[in-house]
Structure 1
Amino acid sequence: MDKGIASIFKPFLEPKEVYKGGKNIPLSDKKIYKLSSNENPLGASPLAIEGLKSAIHKIALYPDQTDIRLREALVNDFKGELHVDQFVTGNSGSEIIDMLLRAFINEGDEVIFSNPCFLPYSVFSRWYGAKQIDIPLGLPNYELDREGILNAITNRTKIIFLTSPNNPTGTYIPKPVLEDFLKRIPKNILIVFDEVYHHFADAPDYTTALPYVQNGHNIIALNSFSKTYGLAGLRIGYAYTTKTIANYIRLIHKPFLMPLTSLEAAIGALSDHEFLNKTVKTVHEGRKYLESSFTSLGIPFWPTQANFFIVDPPLPEMEFTNSLMEHGIMVRPVSQFGAPGKVRITIGDQEANAALVDSLQKLKAH
Structure 2
Amino acid sequence: MKKDITSIFKAHLVPKEVYKGGKNIPPTDKKIYKLSSNENPLGASPKAVAAMKAALDDINIYPDQTDIRLREALVKDFDGQLTADQFFCGNGGSEVIDMLLRAFINEGDEVIFSNPCFLPYSVFSRWYGAHQVDIPLLTPNYELDVEGILNAINEKTKVIFLTSPNNPTGTYIPKSVMDDFMARVPKNILVVFDEVYRHFADANDYVTALPYVLEGHNMIGLNSFSKTYGLAGQRIGYGYTTTTIANYIRLIHKPFLLPLTSIEAAIGALNDTEFIEATVKTVLEGRKYITKAFDELGIKYWPSQANFFIIDPPLPEMEFTDKMMEEGIMVRPVSQFGAPGKVRITIGNAEANEALVKALRKIMDM
TM-score interval (norm. to shorter)? over 0.9
Amino acid of the structure 1 residue aligned with 2:191: I
Report the equivalent of 1:311. Answer: 311
Amino acid of the structure 2 residue aligned with 1:141: N
- In structure 1, list runs of 5 or more residues that go unmatched: none
Scaled by the length of structure 2, what TM-score is found? 0.99
Report the equivalent of 1:41. Answer: 41
CA positional deviation for 1:57: 1.0
Report the equivalent of 2:275. Answer: 275
The within-5 A match list for 1:171-182 is 171-182=171-182
Which portions of structure 1, spanning 4 or more consecutive aligned residues, are displaced by more than 6 angstroms?
Answer: none
CA distance in 2, matches of 1:79, 1:253: 25
CA distance in 2, matches of 1:258, 1:155: 36
- In structure 2, list runs of 5 or more residues that go unmatched: none
CA positional deviation for 1:30: 1.1
Deviation digits for residues 252-307 of structure 1 (CA, Å, limit 9, x no counterpart): 00000010010000000000000000000000000000000000000010000000
Report the equivalent of 2:188. Answer: 188
CA distance in 2, matches of 1:57, 1:122: 40
CA positional deviation for 1:361: 0.6
Report the equivalent of 2:7. Answer: 7
Deviation digits for residues 122-145 of structure 1 (CA, Å, limit 9, x no counterpart): 000000000000000000000000
Amino acid of the structure 2 residue aligned with 1:223: N
Report the equivalent of 1:119. Answer: 119
Report the equivalent of 1:95. Answer: 95
Report the equivalent of 1:295. Answer: 295
Name the SS for the 1:172 alignment partner: coil
Name the SS for the 2:58 alignment partner: coil
CA distance in 2, matches of 1:154, 1:2: 41
The within-5 A match list for 1:1-366 is 1-366=1-366
Stretch of structure 1 that moved more, 2-11 or 241-250: 2-11
Name the SS for the 1:48 alignment partner: helix
CA positional deviation for 1:4: 2.1
CA distance in 1, matches of 2:334, 2:57: 41
CA distance in 1, matches of 2:184, 2:96: 26
CA positional deviation for 1:2: 3.6
Name the SS for the 1:14 alignment partner: coil
Deviation digits for residues 156-209 of structure 1 (CA, Å, limit 9, x no counterpart): 000000000000000000000001001111111000000000000000000001
CA distance in 1, matches of 2:336, 2:8: 30
CA positional deviation for 1:8: 1.3
Name the SS for the 1:7 alignment partner: helix
Name the SS for the 1:318 alignment partner: helix
Name the SS for the 1:88 alignment partner: strand
Name the SS for the 2:250 alignment partner: helix
Name the SS for the 1:147 alignment partner: helix
Aligned residues: 366
